[in-house]
Amino acid sequence: MTDLAALGWEVHRVAPALGAHVAGVDLTRPVSSTEARGLVELLSEHLVLTFHDQSLDPARQVELGRIFGDPYVHPFLEAVPEHPSVLLVAKEPDEAETFGGEHWHADITFVDPPSSVSLLHAHELPPLGGDTLFANQFLAFDQLSDGMQRMLALSWSKARNWLANSV
């Protein structure tokens, strides 16, 4: 386990089910192998990590994402020029529909294997609302009865991308 205190990092849980805020880390510069290992360990433990006051350009975002695996290039959505794995997610105040669907979505579940990590870098947020919500599917499954877990273990599902039919 990485010694986070030696790195000068502070980790603060934000909810019982998932999430932690990490302070003291500078993601605007290349991270060392020790820092990369610490980030992977923290994500594995908390599932969602937040970092305040980090100004990341698209190239830095891609580099940071490589810590967790190969960047995904979406086949149907327009990417940021020169960075095919970075998408601009924007919603104007007068727009009712959210990015990715009317109510909720899970990132890149229509490929095999599905995406394991998504990075979100917020540039501009409204003073109220604008929340991105997360759910701990591991905990949700663990909270089910043994019988329901056994039934679901025999089940499968296939996600599809609704954009695939509109292109």
Condensed to tens digits (0 to 9), the pLDDT of residues 117-141 reads 888 888 888 888 777 888 999 999 9
- Cα–Cα distance for residue pair 85/70, rounded to 1 Å: 10
What pLDDT shows up at residue 167? 45
How many CB atoms within 10 Å of residue 61? Answer: 19
59-108 pLDDT, tens per residue?
Answer: 999 999 999 999 989 888 889 999 999 988 887 778 777 766 666 677 77
- Report the side by side order of strands in the sheet with 20-23: 10-13, 20-23, 49-50
Higher pLDDT, 44 or 131: 44
On whether the CB atoms of residues 22 and 49 are closer than 8 A, the answer is yes
Length of the chain: 167
Domain ranges in the chain are: 1-55, 70-167
**Interatomic CA distance for residues 69 and 82, integer angstroms:** 19
Cα separation, 120 vs 163, whole angstroms = 21
The pTM of this model reads 0.86
Question: How many Å apart are CA 12 and CA 127, to the nearest integer?
Answer: 23
Q: What is the pLDDT of residues 11-29, one digit of tens each?
A: 999 999 999 999 999 999 9
